[in-house]
Amino acid sequence: MLPASVTVTLFFVIPVMMTFVFSFTTMSSDTGILGNRYIVTKATILDLTEHGIDAALVRQLGHKVFRFNDAGLAKIREIGLDSSLVKEIEEKLSGDEFASEKALFAALKQLINRPRSFKHRKAISKSVVNTITNQEFRTAAAFRAGLVANGIKVDDATFGQLLDLTNTSWRWTTDNYVELLASDFTFKILANTAFYVFFTLLFNVGFALVLALATFYMPSGQSKFFRAVWLIPRISPSVIYVMLWKWFTFDSGFMSYFLGSLGVEPENWLNEFPWTFVIIVNGFVGASMGMIIFASAVLAIPADVLRAAEVDGAYPMQQVRRIILPLMAWPILFITSYQTLSLLTSFEYILLLTDGGPGFFTTETWALNAYHTALSNYFGNLRYGFGATLAVVLVFFGVALSLLYLRLFDFKKLVAEPLIEN
């Protein structure tokens, strides 16, 4: 019990809670995940001006100068340059200032003992540069110290503003939820999801029942065979299973070939009827689980009950309706609710099959959209925060549906008191 709780807590419960927290952040690839990072760059300089920071201060922040003062020269001595070069620098450049690295390098080139390697030129440049731009600071204190070292004085209020504007890390926000509500696409995806879950569920549970009952009335060899066949999709790696469906439905695949012999033009049937196949492909996978549970449930019905019915002259259909189905209410409800939640969050097969296409969000479901946002943005700036928001909303729907199902079948019975008391 304990190891299970610890594992689930560490890698599932806590991450879920953290995801709730993340849904209120702007976290994405470009903000990073950990910690603050203060840096003044070309873009921040523009940003600072737009936010009304004092122009003189902005100029200071953007200022970059290469200065051969005592501190700079001291650093140069530690690089390990030729002593002739160090001497020449001390003689000729002491006290000089350069506005750009290019100008500095040009000046170095004029020296008799000029540094030939880029490594040394760069080291000299690094020794004498005075600037705050493109310097990274991980804490506010370090940033403050950096400003002081560059002779930039700011009051506390302005410093607060600077901290905010130069920080590349993520911030708290409720914009994710606002964006979701404002977007025209939210409803479309929601409708898709409802459509997908409802029809796949119908297919799943329907076929599971049919299979369970049909195989019950079959010789055992046949029933074993069909159960095995319907389990294959479930036990095949998704990549293979979907690859086979694509082979089955594409222009020169089996369906086109078969229908071609009936005079139908070859088509990419998957593209023609995306939803049909999304539902069938997921349905075949899902049906097996229901089938196993239902089949076992039928087997669990005491044989006497069925025999009594047979003696009464009941046909199989009547048996099914009058005796079997009522006894199976509980497993049916369990499978229905469990599968609803599974389908809400599943996207793997749709991802591999249509990737939400073809065309305008045709088969994009909520979970797939969360995946696209949080993990697979085409140009790589992954929106973790927004993805988390999508997940949270999905959980909200999951909880709502669960509560609905709980009204239908008693959760209390599911978590009923344990059998043995200590």
DSSP 8-state secondary structure symbol assigned to residue 418:
P
* d(C-alpha 273, C-alpha 127), whole Å: 67
Place of tokens 């890390």: 169
- Kindly state whether residue 395 participates in binding other proteins, applying the rule CB under 8 A: yes
Residue among 177, 248, 275, 409 that touches other proteins (CB under 8 A): 248
Residue among 151, 254, 308, 312 that touches other proteins (CB under 8 A): 254
Q: Which stretch binds other proteins (CB under 8 A): 79-87, 157-165, 193-201, 223-231?
A: 223-231
Q: What is the DSSP string of 308-340?
A: HHHHTT--HHHHIIIIIHHHTHHHHHHHHHHHH
- Kindly state whether residue 272 participates in binding other proteins, applying the rule CB under 8 A: yes
Residue among 71, 202, 264, 299 that touches other proteins (CB under 8 A): 299
* d(C-alpha 382, C-alpha 269), whole Å: 33
- Kindly state whether residue 100 participates in binding other proteins, applying the rule CB under 8 A: no
How many of the chain's residues bind other proteins (CB under 8 A)? 142
Phi-psi region of 327 (alpha: psi -120 to 50; beta: other; left: phi over 0): alpha
Q: What is the 3-state secondary structure (H, E, C) of 3-45?
A: HHHHHHHHHHHHHHHHHHHHCCECCCCCCCCCCCCEEECHHHH
Positions in 132-171 near other proteins (CB under 8 A): 134, 136, 168
Task: Sheet with 129-131: list strands edge to edge.
Answer: 97-98, 64-67, 129-131
For residues 187 and 266, the answer to whether their CB atoms sit within 8 Å is no
* d(C-alpha 47, C-alpha 346), whole Å: 42
For residues 50 and 144, the answer to whether their CB atoms sit within 8 Å is no
Q: Compare residues 147 and 215 and give the one whose CB is closer to other proteins.
A: 215
State in angstroms the smallest separation of the CB of 300 from other proteins. 4
State in angstroms the smallest separation of the CB of 157 from other proteins. 24
State in angstroms the smallest separation of the CB of 305 from other proteins. 14
Residue among 8, 145, 191, 308 that touches other proteins (CB under 8 A): 8
Positions in 14-43 near other proteins (CB under 8 A): 14-16, 18-19, 22, 27, 29-34, 37, 39, 41-43
Q: Which stretch binds other proteins (CB under 8 A): 53-61, 84-92, 142-150, 268-276?
A: 268-276
For residues 45 and 58, the answer to whether their CB atoms sit within 8 Å is yes
Residue among 152, 236, 309, 409 that touches other proteins (CB under 8 A): 236
Residue among 48, 73, 292, 350 that touches other proteins (CB under 8 A): 292
- Kindly state whether residue 318 participates in binding other proteins, applying the rule CB under 8 A: no
Q: Compare residues 11 and 198 and give the one whose CB is closer to other proteins.
A: 11
Residue among 76, 93, 124, 370 that touches other proteins (CB under 8 A): 370
* φ and ψ at residue 136, rounded to 5 degrees: -95, 130
Q: Which stretch binds other proteins (CB under 8 A): 70-78, 139-147, 153-161, 243-251?
A: 243-251
Q: What is the 3-state secondary structure (H, E, C) of 88-134?
A: HHHHHCCCCEECCHHHHHHHHHCCCCCCCCHHHHHHHHHHHEEECEC
Q: Which stretch binds other proteins (CB under 8 A): 72-80, 84-92, 180-188, 191-199?
A: 180-188
- Kindly state whether residue 307 participates in binding other proteins, applying the rule CB under 8 A: no
For residues 255 and 249, the answer to whether their CB atoms sit within 8 Å is yes
CA torsion through residues 42, 46, 47, 51, sign: positive
- Kindly state whether residue 269 participates in binding other proteins, applying the rule CB under 8 A: no
β-pair type (136-137, 129-131): unpaired
Binding mask 38-77 for other proteins (x = CB under 8 A): -x-xxx--x-------------------------------
Residue among 158, 296, 305, 408 that touches other proteins (CB under 8 A): 296
For residues 134 and 41, the answer to whether their CB atoms sit within 8 Å is yes
- Kindly state whether residue 240 participates in binding other proteins, applying the rule CB under 8 A: yes
